[in-house]
Structure 1
């Protein structure tokens, strides 16, 4: 599991995927979210600008990101 500490109140989903190096670019992040490859708190979520907050768990390609 990847631990990621948010510096503010939240981080947008596509920025989170880039920040933990699971995608190379913002464009790639948008595509994987639109294609339904990302789970947010256990459910597929298609929102690119989703505000991920402390306590949330994001799953992508077998990796879990625990946001604190």
Structure 2
């Protein structure tokens, strides 16, 4: 699992997916989320604006990342 640092929490799911390099852009994020391909802490997340916090684990396909704070 790879940790992706954010500068402050919370961060929206769509923003985090872009920051982590899991999607190309906001449209791609929206499509993956609507298709049920994004899991947060083991559950399908269908809200692009879902608030993520340090320690949350996001899975897209075979990629798994966690949210960590910079500093």
Please indicate the TM-score interval, normalised by the length of the shorter structure: over 0.9
Q: Output the TM-score relative to the length of structure 1.
A: 0.92
Deviation beyond 3 Å, 4+ runs, structure 1: none
Unaligned runs of 5+ in 2: none
Give the aligned CA root-mean-square deviation in angstroms: 0.8
Secondary structure class of the residue paired with 2:3: strand
CA distance in 2, matches of 1:6, 1:22: 15
Number of residues of Structure 1 aligned to a counterpart in Structure 2? 68
Q: Output the TM-score relative to the length of structure 2.
A: 0.89
Superposed displacement of residue 51, structure 1 = 0.6
Higher strand residue share = 2
Identify the residue that residue 5 of structure 1 maps to in structure 2. 5
CA distance in 2, matches of 1:39, 1:61: 9
Identify the residue that residue 37 of structure 1 maps to in structure 2. 37
Unaligned runs of 5+ in 1: none
Superposed displacement of residue 22, structure 1 = 1.3
